[in-house]
Structure 1
Amino acid sequence: MEAFYIYLIKSSGLIALFYLAYHFMLRKETFFTSNRWFLLLGLFTSVLLPLVVFTKIIWVEPTPVNYDWSSLPITTTVNEDHTEEYIYLGLAMLYCMGALYLLTKFGFDFYSLQKVFKGKIIKRQADFKFIDLQDNLAPFSFFNTIVYNSSLYTTAELENILEHEKVHCEQNHTADVLIERVFCAIFWFNPFMWLYKKAILQNLEFIADSEATKKTSDKKAYQFTLLKITTHENCVAITNHFYQSLIKKRIVMLNKNQSKKSNSWKYVLIIPALVAFVILFQVNVIAQEKIAVQATTKIIKANEKSVDVYKIDKNTTDEELKEKSSNLKENYAIIATFSGIKRNSKNELTAIKVDLKKGKEIAQKMETKGTEAINEFGIIVSKDDNGMLTVNFGSDETIINQKSIVIAPNAPSVTEKEIFINGKKVSQDDLDKIDPNEIATMNVNKNDDKQEIRIITNNHRKMINENDIYINNEKVSQNELDRLDQSTIERMDVNKDGKTIRIITKNGIQYSQERNLPVPPTPPTPPVFKIKTPAPPAFPKAPKAPKGDPIKGDKKAWKEFEKKMEDYEAKMKKLEPQMEAFDKQMEEFDKKMEPFNKEMEAFEKKMKVYEQQMEEYHSNLERERKK
């Protein structure tokens, strides 16, 4: 259940990302068809990309543990808290109620549409079907069917309306409308989804207006037709309406100059954001212990008598886990605690944490989690005649014959291990509590009898990057700071106001074993957009037509409406000089954009070089760390 909520949150975030990219970069461009595919691609990317998960394994050294087998095992009693389950259940019920309501409304809209079509005379022309109604209903199209009331319009107006609706039919815009309705039902809780829906419908109208005006002789008459249709408020929800409450924007777009092809670079800017999303949220970091082999392993291999493997796979039930825990305790006095258990809708294990304990000390710990079902693994236990015990996790029983962790009475540690997080010495428990996703770097240094694990977290790395670093009054890089042997630090002063970190060492600068780590390249700086977009003139508000038929209805009201329309047309005519001035301002704006576009092209070239440098940096970094 939790995995499903995380999926919805990730998908909702991507929907918001695509909408913001469209709103701030593409909304005012005249690439209407390209914008249509961008918006649709955004929806499908938002539901598919969160399903793609990459796994990254971070290897850490194991913790040798000595056991006193004379001590009695301690029984662990766990009181389960179901509060979290109740919260998830409540949220699930709320989500299902919202989705069910919208899907039911979707079904009623189809029913209303069938009532409009039922019993009506259908005229066919080429690939189109025409239905001429007598109702006061706004013109609309549904796939290849166009519905209108011819008595409400002149011949010229009806021609403009039909050309507009034919574009909707030819380009199959109804499919876009149905897709956004389904997505609204699934992501009804996301406010950006409703803004996304509005953007899709607006862009479809821009496409139809643009194509229809290419086939009409009088562009101005087409605009007046738009204004006349604003009076029709009755419409069917799942159709393409001739009027979408955006007349002002449509008229502006009709009179706007075509965007230059060079502005199409804006579509590419979404790619770095998607890459960042994958790196930040779709890379599952798993910390896994390396297998340490003690000196007594050879003896065990010669004397091993019994080997038990307790297998756990995606279909293992809670009862089976309890049984395995009971068997481990009874047979080997090892307490196995299973926690962090999560399952998907198929009741398959997607996450589990295993702790193996003897007394108060941890023998072994393993954790796996993700959105997919877990791979099969086993708890492998073997014991020889001398009472020496071998415990390990693995996916194959042959691990016992190759590498294992030996647990025996008073067995000496392989090495003395020290753990440092952000320069501070911590315990094994502190290391276990750290979130692997917060780890920026991890270095393991080994000597003959000493082992160091040094971890830098993302927050600490960010804090360090924002400050100038000085070691013994000499300014150094982040790379040199990472390699500093922190046991030699005598004093460290942090000046938040001056944004400086000053470190004084005991006997000069001493670096840890990783001395030749490469320096990461510096990313290029993107150009700054400082050009102000000109504002279009303010259009007067169109008068609202009276209800009813203009012939059989209230004639006095319709005469007053005609007078208001004449005044409105006069005001629109007065706006023509302002529109011409606005067109000139847009031409100047396009000219000012040319240097910025060139800067963006140069920036993109530098970014390609930077990406190549980063690939080389990571390769060199991996090579140096393997030495």
Structure 2
Amino acid sequence: MEALYIYLIKSSGLIALFYLAYYFMLRKETFFTSNRWFLLLGLFTSAVLPLVVYTKIIMVESSSKNIDWSRIPITNSIENEPFEINWYIVFGITYAIGIILFMGKFVFDFYSLNTVLKGKTIQNQADFKFIDTTENVAPFSYFNTIVYNSSLYSSSELENILEHEKVHSDQNHTVDVLISRLFCILFWFNPLIWLYKKAILQNLEFIADNEATKKISDKKAYQFTLLKITTHENCVAITNHFYQSLIKKRIVMLNKNQSKKSNSWKYVLIIPALVAFVILFQVNVIAQEKTAVQATTEIIKANEKSVDVYKINKNTTDEELKEKSSNLKENYAIIATFSGIKRNSKNELTAIKVDLKKGKEIAQKMETKGTEAINEFGIIVSKDDNGMLTVNFGSDETIINQESIVIAPNAPSVSEKEIFINGKKVSQDDLDKINPKEIAAMNVNKNDDKQEIRIITNNHRKMINENDIYINNEKVSQNELDRLDQSKIERMDVNKDDKTIRIITKNGIQYSQEKNLPVPPTPPTPPVFNIKTPAPPAFPKAPKAPKGDPIKGDKKAWKEFEKKMEDFEAKMKKLEPQMEAFDKQMGEFDKKMEPFNKEMEAFEKKMKVYEQQMEEYHSNLERERKK
């Protein structure tokens, strides 16, 4: 609902911009047709431009913090919950009621129009339909239908009136009237939209007067007709009618000299204002943390002996992609598949999907697509002294996929880091004793070359989530609680009966991060296995073939090679039962991983929602910063 309010505010601002530009610069000009399109363009621009968003990526330092619950004093108290009004709902209901009322008025006007037209005799002439009614209504046109009462006017006056209405009908001015009415319904709360509609209708009359007088010999007689019609105020809504209350302005415009063509530069002045609107409000800033890249780079430098980077940029050809796939297969037995390839008119890559596989050990993928050329990225393959193989996607600015796949007999040690469980500092032994299934959330922070691992258990998180949280007597969400600066907490009371947690701060609420910062979803916990990760059998080393040709070369050496090959094949045959057992173990391992893989798919969907929330958050942050 907040997004709807923001859209209505932006659109209302653009409507005001176009109306003020017309009122102060174009209202007195005789560019009536150009003014018509300017006013219509203003309405459509106001509806569409707030939906156009441009994305800008900036790099920021990580500022994640966790609440140390062990440092907060806890007491018990009972307090009544304060009454709260949800203003979003109040404004939403008010807006809906306004739309219903004005839509009802719109439908009633159609009914009134149908009452006037129903059962009347129609005379067809060229592209027009004429209805000569006996009712006391002002002459009007509705699309190609023109209604008038001939008994009220002389033949010359009727001729002037019909020429005027023919212009309305021929130029489809009824469409402008209906569009302006619809915008009045949607933006009924904006007082300028009613002035905007009045400006549109008035300009249509200027157009009809200007075109009609070109076909009428007596211009003064036409003006006298305008004065006579002012006595007929019974007009039909949602139509172009000859009578208008601003007859004086119409007569002034009829006698005004044509504006100079050089004054048309005024239309261009709206463009800088629209550009400023896009820059200030329609640029979506996405922040990406630098620490993820730095941590990954440090791990690579500390643990890896050799690193191969297969770079892919916008100018990479299909032949080069095939070569990289061949090299990955030859050097690391990794099957790289490139699909979803799209290029623009400059033959630059705009979309590509990369799938990496190595048996059942590696299954990694990455996809990037858009209308612009892709940023350069690389497939990073590294290997350390212990034979641990790591595969990751990365670039100079950001890690495209922060989850790398590591093949190693043992996980890297975290004993050098500071470890906190539920806010209390613990040792590596304490961490080893925790059942992974009890972990609700785990954050890894690095500040000033100091790494911390902070873990929240299910029991602790359950205690927090089951209670309503109040900060300074104002109910807040878990997100706002996580962002509270611990040093500013004076007292925290926990009421088990009412299931409430009430926090009093020293000098008002002070957050450690910006307000409304979205909270990322918690990744699933990997399953705990009672068996070790299956290890493949130790394969014998294949003999090296001697140099030269088997026939013309060293025959003795080739005979020895053939004998070694027979021994090698015999050893490989003996390994077949072990290979079957290894395949069976891998099958069991895969079955146990299936639930975790499903949880990871659900986690990835939540991450996409979180990324959208972060985009909106940074867009609002940038907008507030520029105010």
1:302 has 2:421 as partner: no
Alpha-carbon distance between aligned partners in 2 of 1:369 and 1:174, rounded to the nearest angstrom: 47
Q: 1:338 to 1:286 in 2, by over 3 A?
A: farther
**Per-residue deviation at 1:309?**
9.5
1:134 maps to a residue whose letter is: T
Check the 8 A contact 1:338/1:354 in 2, yes or no. no
| Shift of residue 225, structure 1, vs aligned partner | 1.0
Match of 1:561 in 2: none
Tell me the SS of whatever aligns to 2:181.
helix
Aligned twin of 1:16: 16
Q: Identify the residue that residue 105 of structure 1 maps to in structure 2.
A: 105
* CA distance in structure 1 between the aligned counterparts of 2:155 and 2:441, rounded to whole angstroms: 82
Counting only pairs closer than 5 Å after superposition, residues 591-606 of structure 1 correspond to structure 2 as none
Identify the residue that residue 128 of structure 1 maps to in structure 2: 128
The amino acid that maps onto 1:90 is V
Structure 1 spans left out of the alignment, 5+ residues:
312-325, 341-350, 386-393, 399-431, 441-457, 459-627
Distance 1:30 1:223 in 2: 18
- Structure 2 Cα separation of the partners of residues 96 and 79 of structure 1: 33
1:145 matches 2:255 = no
Structure 1, residues 305-342: CA drift from partner, whole Å, max 9, x if none?
Answer: 9698989xxxxxxxxxxxxxx985448999799999xx
Distance in 2, matches of 1:126 and 1:63, equals: 74
Give secondary structure in 1 for the equivalent of 2:245.
coil
Question: Which deviates more from structure 2 when the two are superposed, residues 4-13 or residues 161-170?
Answer: 4-13
Superposition pairs for residues 438-453 of structure 1, below 5 Å?
438-439=624-625
Matches within 5 A, 1:461-610: none
Q: For residues 47-102 of structure 1, what are the alpha-carbon distances to aligned partners after superposition, in whole Å with 9 as ceiling and x for unaligned?
A: 111122234344322248799899899899999977352x2222222222222111
**Which has the higher Rg, Structure 1 or Structure 2?**
2
Cα distance in 1 for partners of 2:463, 2:526 equals: 13
User: Which residue identity does 1:9 align to in structure 2?
Assistant: I
Give the TM-score, by structure 1 length: 0.51
1:13-50 per-residue CA deviation (whole Å, 9 max, x = no partner) reads: 11111000000001111111111111011111111111
In structure 2, the partner of 1:511 is: none
Match of 2:119 in 1: 119
Could you tell me the TM-score, scaled by structure 2's length? 0.51
d(CA) in 1 for partners of 2:524, 2:484: 13
Q: Secondary structure at the match of 1:124?
A: strand
Match of 1:163 in 2: 163
Letter in 2 for 1:198: K
Between the two proteins, the alignment pairs up a number of residues equal to 370
List alignment gaps of at least 5 residues for structure 2: 304-409, 415-431, 443-454, 470-477, 490-510, 529-599, 605-617
> CA–CA distance in 1 between the matches of 2:227 and 2:162?
16
Change (3 A) 1:156 1:378: same
Distance apart, 1:381 and its partner CA: 8.2
Shift of residue 274 of structure 1?
1.0
Shifted more, 18-27 versus 185-194: the winner is 185-194
Give the direction of change, closer, same or farther, for the CA distance of 1:125–1:227 in structure 2 (3 Å limit): same
CA 1:333–1:177 in 2, change beyond 3 Å: closer, same or farther? closer
**Contact residue 65 and residue 483 of structure 2 kept, 8 A:** no
Pair 1:48–1:366, CA change in 2 (3 A):
farther
CA contact (8 A) 1:334 1:358 kept: no
The 5 Å alignment of 1:194-273 reads: 194-273=194-273
Equivalent position of 1:50 in the other structure: 50
Alpha-carbon separation, structure 1, partners of 2:24 and 2:249: 16
Per the alignment, residue 615 of structure 1 pairs with none
Amino acid in structure 2 at the alignment position of 1:302: P
Indicate conservation of the 8 Å contact 2:142/2:174, yes or no: yes
Using the alignment, how far apart are the partners of 2:93 and 2:218 within structure 1?
Answer: 55
Aligned to 1:193: 193
CA shift digits 1:191-248 (9 cap, x unpaired): 1011101100000000101111111111111111111111100010111010111111
- State the SS of the aligned residue for 1:130: strand
**Amino acid in the other structure paired with 2:193:** M
AA aligned to 2:236 is V
Distance in 2 between residues matched to 1:44 and 1:337, nearest whole Å: 48
Aligned-partner residue type, residue 204 of structure 1: L
Asked if structure 2 preserves the Cα contact closer than 8 Å seen for 1:338 and 1:353, the reply is no
Residues 44/63 of structure 1: CA separation in 2 closer, same or farther (3 Å cut): closer
Cα deviation code 1:337-356 (max 9, x no counterpart): 9999xxxxxxxxxx977948
Structure 2 Cα separation of the partners of residues 280 and 106 of structure 1: 36
What residue is the counterpart of 2:417 in the other structure? none
1:600 maps to which residue? none
Distance 2:230 2:176 in 1: 23
Change (3 A) 1:75 1:205: farther
Is the 1:25–1:266 Cα contact (8 Å) retained in structure 2?
yes
Is 2:193 the partner of 1:83?
no
CA distance in 2, matches of 1:146, 1:254: 23
Alpha-carbon distance in structure 2 between the residues aligned to 1:26 and 1:149: 35
Aligned to 2:38: 38
1:360 and 1:19 map into 2 onto residues whose CA distance is 51
Alignment partner of 1:107: what SS? helix
- 1:340-374: CA deviations, max 9, x gaps? 9xxxxxxxxxx977948998799x9888989xxx9
